[in-house]
């Protein structure tokens, strides 16, 4: 099947790329494009060539699934060289997304027309890469490095209008894109043979260099753990210091090095995992979502208020419901204060704030949920409370309305059993602060209708969330694994590590915060109450709470927070308390290296993840990775816990868990059967096929 169709409009050859779904530049497309350019270029009856595209994207870039496999000719830089050196003008007709290699194709052309809705960008940085087919050399020459560098550094696409302003495209049209490109091609033909504009300095002036170097210094200071920002600086600098072809060679060498870097591999894994979550095992892709025009949220606490804001931010009217007027007044004041903060910071205009607030209707009593297409309960985390609410909602909500609980731990079927419509009841687990955090766990209990799940997924995306379907089970996916890490933290503290050492191991790995600082921020009393309710104990964590040290809100927890400080300091009293606990348990404390702390924190999480997969609570290892990246701050370039485990090797993780299980006598640390099976075969989680959620 050909991926490029060639047609003629008089003297103009029109090459239409058609490689669904997004015209990624796989080997077949590269070969077809090269052939068409050569053929049309050597055909004396052709005066100019237009490169157009069918479908929703112009070209989404290189085919990311080919990365990591042996490269097969023709290579993209060579195809682009053929376009650029073509003796006839070549014009790009850009509609939809022109990203990465897609924009690089357009940059190699002699003219560019964009449709008004087009998006143009070089997002390679987000995959741990830099543009690898001339983007770092051609874009600075075209629009100046001071404008090109920030585009490549952020990876964010620009609109057609902005592209015109930048000089990235020659024209923007609201009409027929191919007709506009043909017209530009004819103008270029009338102007004589195209210049190979790449070789000149373009806009690379001394002033531009100065502006670029200032931006480069700033970027270098912030580049953190990713090597590609530095590579990008080097490549763009080469546009000033080297002739074009040598600049291209420098860029290519840097690109190839980054391609082989495990950090880019992890980010590519995340790219595909984040798309895979849209496919829910066992649910036909043709199932349509129910319409959601109006929502209701029950409970105007921090969580409920945040969820109501998500709806308002997405333009969906929402009723925020409480039991009493004073409670709803408090809730609305809290929401208004958060919006006010955004206005003060300049991230929201007063008008937008007013529009959003106007979309939230405060109400007292569940009766106000009667006209909602979806009701999300965010009340107190107690089964009795939830059952009472759902029982009442059963008689109030309209037929077909989705009834969702925001529970973090509770059994969703038990909640659903309070209604006579279990087909409409599911979990929608938002993360705090709900208006900020991207993750949304959609809990799929037995008996819920497929279209209810599809509706929740579509709604989640509309709310700007990353929705992941999970099975029903205590703590679902994220919190269940978090609990494994919390238990590991407690074990480490008792065995000899100190809170700042545990946290440093995790921040050194790339997390923004360690488990002790995180507990202090969330409030240590939350876990304490939950342990007590379940008849569980954790000697260190319990003792800290018994002393009244609930974390930041009380000025001390695992760390000290004098005068409202946000960053904790070591607390000698806590360290003495921890030593006392070890002594009472008869443990001789020993020191732990950062690496050992890390594996003792993360291996049990991976083990729990394996159990979650075995039980079908998560459909795929990638789903777990997406959850940890979007809800728990796992560093993206580490790819998520299951991807990380694969990079370590499951055999090594099994051996470490076995040693820990033997040392502690803790059965939970014994490797999960799935982990053992994969390790025995020398395989990784990536080798697993999807199971049903
Ligand atoms: C690059 O270009 C390097 C060059 O500088 C140098 C080369 C030498 N490859 O996102 P969607 C698939 S690096 C392979 O759901 P949307 C995607 O997996 C690349 N597959 O659609 C999904 O498959 P499935 C730089 C790709 O409408 C399907 O297409 N480019 C690629 O929400 C639909 O995707 C980028 O980083 C690809 N490049 O958004 C752009 N792109 O249905 C990456 C998509 O089986 N792409 N797929 O799950 C995007 O940002 C979005 O996909 C796009 C469409 C905005 C285009």
Question: Which pTM value belongs to this model?
Answer: 0.94
- The predicted structure's pLDDT at residue 194: 64
Residue 58 contacts residue 92 (beta carbons within 8 Å): yes
The phi, psi pair for 6, rounded to 5°, reads -110, 130
Contacts of 514 (CB under 8 A, 6+ apart): 499, 502, 503, 504, 505, 506, 507
Domain that holds residue 309: 295-475
* Cβ(279) – ligand 1 distance below 6 Å: no
CA distance 313 to 348: 11
| Positions in the chain whose pLDDT score sits under 70 | 193-200, 224-225, 690-693
Same domain, 652 and 616: yes
Same domain, 135 and 60: yes
CATH number of the domain within which 105 lies: 3.90.226.10
Asked if residue 14 belongs to a domain, the reply is yes
Q: What is the 8-class DSSP label of residue 30? A: H
* Domain boundary, last residue among 552, 584, 616: 584
Same domain, 573 and 601: no
* Cβ(65) – ligand 1 distance below 6 Å: yes
Same domain, 610 and 565: no
The phi, psi pair for 551, rounded to 5°, reads 115, -155
Asked if residue 576 belongs to a domain, the reply is yes
Same domain, 578 and 618: no
Structure tokens at 20: 């669904």
Same domain, 402 and 549: no
CA distance 540 to 506: 19
Asked if residue 557 belongs to a domain, the reply is yes
Asked if residue 358 belongs to a domain, the reply is yes
235 half-sphere exposure, CB direction, 13 A CA radius: 34
Same domain, 471 and 610: no
* Cβ(155) – ligand 1 distance below 6 Å: no
| 3-state secondary structure (DSSP) of residue 257 | helix
CATH number of the domain within which 554 lies: 1.10.1040.10
* Domain boundary, last residue among 217, 241, 260: 260
**The 3-state secondary structure of 517-528, one letter per residue:** HHHHHHCHHHHH
Q: What distance in angstroms lies between residue 73's CA and the mean position of ligand 1's atoms?
A: 21
Residue bearing the CA closest to ligand 1, atom 16: 22
CATH number of the domain within which 431 lies: 3.40.50.720
Q: Which residues pair with 7 in a beta bridge?
A: 14
Asked if residue 22 belongs to a domain, the reply is yes
CA distance 613 to 441: 15
- The predicted structure's pLDDT at residue 34: 97
Same domain, 576 and 625: no
Instruction: Compute CA 125 distance to the chain's CA centroid, rounded to the nearest angstrom.
Output: 14
Same domain, 436 and 374: yes
- The predicted structure's pLDDT at residue 530: 84
Residue bearing the CA closest to ligand 1, atom 36: 123
Residue bearing the CA closest to ligand 1, atom 32: 275
- The predicted structure's pLDDT at residue 441: 98
Same domain, 455 and 320: yes
- The predicted structure's pLDDT at residue 533: 85
Q: Which residues pair with 641 in a beta bridge?
A: none
Residue 311 contacts residue 295 (beta carbons within 8 Å): yes
- The predicted structure's pLDDT at residue 693: 36
Asked if residue 484 belongs to a domain, the reply is no
Each residue's pLDDT tens digit, 476-535: 999 999 999 999 999 999 999 999 999 999 999 999 999 999 999 989 998 898 888 889
Give the ligand 1 atom nearest the CA of 61. 2
- The predicted structure's pLDDT at residue 1: 76
Same domain, 187 and 77: yes
What residue ranges in 343-401 does DSSP mark as E strands? 360-364, 374-377
Same domain, 393 and 460: yes
* Domain boundary, last residue among 566, 584, 602: 584
CA distance 297 to 136: 48
Each residue's pLDDT tens digit, 353-397: 999 999 999 999 999 999 999 999 999 989 999 999 999 999 999
Cβ count within 10 A of residue 616: 14
Q: What distance in angstroms lies between residue 61's CA and the mean position of ligand 1's atoms?
A: 7
CA distance 495 to 292: 52
Instruction: Compute the chain's Rg from CA coordinates.
Output: 28
Asked if residue 500 belongs to a domain, the reply is no
Work out how many domains the chain is built from and give that number.
Answer: 4
* Cβ(64) – ligand 1 distance below 6 Å: yes
CATH number of the domain within which 666 lies: 1.10.1040.50
| 3-state secondary structure (DSSP) of residue 407 | coil
Which of 17, 28, 61, 75 to probe ligand 1 with, by most ligand atoms within 8 A of CB? 61
Residue 274 contacts residue 436 (beta carbons within 8 Å): no
In the chain, count H helices and then E strands: 28, 18
Distance of CA 139 to CAs 145, 156, 249, 424, 567, Å?
7, 15, 16, 52, 42
Asked if residue 353 belongs to a domain, the reply is yes
């Amino acid at each position: 099947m050909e991926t490029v169709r060639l047609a003629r409009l008089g003297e103009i050859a029109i090459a239409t790329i058609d490689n669904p779904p997004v015209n990624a530049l796989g080997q077949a497309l590269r070969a077809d494009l090269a052939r068409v350019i050569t053929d049309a270029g050597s055909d004396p009856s052709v005066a100019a060539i237009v490169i157009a595209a069918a479908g929703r994207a112009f070209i989404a870039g290189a085919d990311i699934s080919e990365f990591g496999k042996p490269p097969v000719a023709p290579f993209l830089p060579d195809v682009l060289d053929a376009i650029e050196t073509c003796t006839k003008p070549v014009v790009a007709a850009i509609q939809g997304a022109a990203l990465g290699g897609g924009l690089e194709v357009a940059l190699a052309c002699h003219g560019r027309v964009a449709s008004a809705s087009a998006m143009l960008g070089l997002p390679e940085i987000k995959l741990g890469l830099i543009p690898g087919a001339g983007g770092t050399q051609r874009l600075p020459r075209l629009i100046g490095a001071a404008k090109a560098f920030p585009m490549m550094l952020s990876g964010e696409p620009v609109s057609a209008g902005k592209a015109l302003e930048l000089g990235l495209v020659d024209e923007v049209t609201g009409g027929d894109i191919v007709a506009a490109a043909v017209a530009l091609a004819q103008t270029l033909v009338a102007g004589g043979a195209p210049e190979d504009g790449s070789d000149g300095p373009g806009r690379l002036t001394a002033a531009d260099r100065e502006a670029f170097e200032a931006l480069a210094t700033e970027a270098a200071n912030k580049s953190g753990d990713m090597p590609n920002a530095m590579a990008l600086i080097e490549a763009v600098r080469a546009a000033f210091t080297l002739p074009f072809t040598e600049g291209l060679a420098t860029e290519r060498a840097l690109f190839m090095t980054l391609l082989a870097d495990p950090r880019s591999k992890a980010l590519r894994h995340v790219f595909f995992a984040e798309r895979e979550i849209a496919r829910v095992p066992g649910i036909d892709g043709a199932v349509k979502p129910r319409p959601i025009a109006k929502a209701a949220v029950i409970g105007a606490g921090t969580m409920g208020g945040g969820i109501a804001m998500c709806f308002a931010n997405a333009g969906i009217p929402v009723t925020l419901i409480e039991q009493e007027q004073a409670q709803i007044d408090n809730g609305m004041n809290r929401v208004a204060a958060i919006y006010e903060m955004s206005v003060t910071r300049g991230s929201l205009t007063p008008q937008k704030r007013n529009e959003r607030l106007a979309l939230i209707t405060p109400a007292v009593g569940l009766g106000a949920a009667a006209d909602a297409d979806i009701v999300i309960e965010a009340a107190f985390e107690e089964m009795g409370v939830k059952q009472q609410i759902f029982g009442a909602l059963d008689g109030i909500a309209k037929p077909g309305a989705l009834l969702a609980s925001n529970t973090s731990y509770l059994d969703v079927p038990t909640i659903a059993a309070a209604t006579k419509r279990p087909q409409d009841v599911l979990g929608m687990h938002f993360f705090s602060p709900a208006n900020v955090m991207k993750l949304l766990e959609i809990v799929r209990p037995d008996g819920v209708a497929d279209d209810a799940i599809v509706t929740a997924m579509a709604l989640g995306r509309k709310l700007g969330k990353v929705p992941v379907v999970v099975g029903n089970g205590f703590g679902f996916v994220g919190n269940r694994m978090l609990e494994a890490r919390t238990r590991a933290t407690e074990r480490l503290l008792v065995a000899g590590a100190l809170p700042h050492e545990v946290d440093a191991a995790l921040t050194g790995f790339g997390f923004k915060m360690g488990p002790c600082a995180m507990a202090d921020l969330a409030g240590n009393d939350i876990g304490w109450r939950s342990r007590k309710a379940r008849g569980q104990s954790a000697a260190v964590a319990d003792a800290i709470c018994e002393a009244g040290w609930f974390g930041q809100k009380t000025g001390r927890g695992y760390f000290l927070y004098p005068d409202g400080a946000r960053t904790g300091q070591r607390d000698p009293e806590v360290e003495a308390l921890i030593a006392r606990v070890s002594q009472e348990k008869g443990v001789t404390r020993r020191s732990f290296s950062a690496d050992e702390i890390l594996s003792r924190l993360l291996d049990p999480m991976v083990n729990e993840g394996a159990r979650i997969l075995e039980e079908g609570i998560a459909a795929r290892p990638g789903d777990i990775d997406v959850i940890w990246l979007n809800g728990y701050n796992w560093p993206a370039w580490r790819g998520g816990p299951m991807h990380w485990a694969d990079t370590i090797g499951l055999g090594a993780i099994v051996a470490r868990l076995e040693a820990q299980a033997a040392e502690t006598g803790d059965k939970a640390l014994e490797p999960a059967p799935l982990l053992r099976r994969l390790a025995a075969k020398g395989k990784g989680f990536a080798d697993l096929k999807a199971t049903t959620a």
